[in-house]
Amino acid sequence: MAVPLYQAKAEFFKTLGHPARIRILELLSERDHAVHELLESIAIEPSNLSQQLAVLRRTSMVVSYRRGSEVVYSVSVPEVRDLLLAARSILSGIAASQADLEPELTPVSAVAR
Amino acid sequence: MAVPLYQAKAEFFKTLGHPARIRILELLSERDHAVHELLESIAIEPSNLSQQLAVLRRTSMVVSYRRGSEVVYSVSVPEVRDLLLAARSILSGIAASQADLEPELTPVSAVAR
DNA sequence: ACACGACTTGCGAATGTTATCAAGTCATGT
DNA sequence: ACATGACTTGATAACATTCGCAAGTCGTGT
């Protein structure tokens, strides 16, 4: 409330602005995962993963619970999935428009004829 | 291409992860603005604004052109508008769910009765 | 009680981002 | 040609993020 909306938005996007956190959210939006499962798919140190998970927890994007000896994470904001999909389509749009411009910047020898 | 998609996504979100850049995109998604117009609405130094605009330009989110003595910016990826709206609704969802939990953490004296 | 696997936390070095100041470019009016 | 307004760029200090290592917690099986 005291925080202006545009600042909250910036913080929200900032927490999405890290490759490991993107991967985590992609995996979690398929299904819940225990930490050691995430670890198999994402090649980083356990402590690093744990820290990235903490970032996502702080912003309430994921929640965790203990199941026996493992800790399971799940997305608490399902809309994040849409955001990731939206990002993908926007990115492919940008990539396509840059491909149009590229010939002007690319040596002729590199251009297929 | 060589860059994995999840990394491109992270970079994309990272460029959204700054309050000034959010404000810029919000203003530009209403209509094109010259830099001095943005400056009136966003209270930062001209050079700082210019740098934030440069970040948005680098990621192809905005484009600029000169009109006489002024430089006009416009969004090149209209879908960004949807993203900003989506962020807002997600944030208000998170805020609402936190309001539910808050009473447990708030001193009784601070709670209206 | 002890060992082990599954995580998390604290710490510090390396790295990246942001804000400000000074200097520079470019177009327009005089 | 010169001054002025509108921006951009370069340099740098302050600040924030990230990563790996060591150490710690918490369950489960022995």
Residue B85 at interface with chain A, using a CB cutoff of 8 Å: no
For residue A61, give the 3-state DSSP assignment.
coil
Q: Which of A15, A26, A93 sits opposite B6 (nearest CB)?
A: A26
C-alpha A13, offset from chain centre: 10
- Shortest Cα–Cα distance, A68 to chain B (Å): 26
> Tens-digit pLDDT profile for chain B (113 aa)?
567 899 999 999 999 999 999 999 999 999 999 999 999 999 999 999 999 999 999 999 999 999 999 999 999 999 999 999 999 999 998 888 877 766 654 544 343 43
- DSSP-assigned beta bridge partners for residue A36: none
- Reported ipTM: the value is 0.88
Which residue of chain A is at minimal alpha-carbon distance from B94? A60
Residues A86/B77, Cβ–Cβ less than 8 Å: no
The helix/strand/coil state of B39 is: helix
Residue nearest to nucleotide D19 (CA to C1'): A48
pLDDT (tens digit, 9 = 90+) per residue, A86-103?
A: 999 999 988 888 777 666
CATH architecture, range A5-110 = Orthogonal Bundle (1.10)
Residues in chain A: 113
Q: Residue A102, CB half-sphere, CA atoms under 13 Å: how many?
A: 10
Please give, rounded to a whole number of angstroms, the shortest distance from the CA of A29 to a CA of chain B. Answer: 14
